[in-house]
Structure 1
Amino acid sequence: MVAIILMTVTAIAKVVDKYQKGNKRVTVNGLNEESRALVNCVGLSAPTAH
């Protein structure tokens, strides 16, 4: 389950990064508690690279 949440948060981070690079304001709503905790831990502003 943690791997799925991590992949989801990474995907969200990539989308957020893409829009922010285009000078768009991004708000993410509706994350469950586990995802929110992971986002707070790793942040959305630095997506991981493969």
Structure 2
Amino acid sequence: MMNSDVATLQNIADTLKEEPLASQRVLAENAGISIGLMNAILKRFVERGWIMLSNV
């Protein structure tokens, strides 16, 4: 994993700590990535059991 990937994942984790109910759009904007990539990352987080998603 590249340093930029680690920094992106850390940014997402930090945002979720500060704002647990953050939307995909907010997470993507804060991390500087597209919503599509954010969706793929969140799916991986869910598969690994790191987070739980909820629909609002």
Report the TM-score range of the alignment, normalised by the length of the smaller protein.
Answer: 0.3 to 0.5
Which structure's relative contact order is higher, taking Cα pairs within 8 Å and 6+ residues apart?
Answer: 1
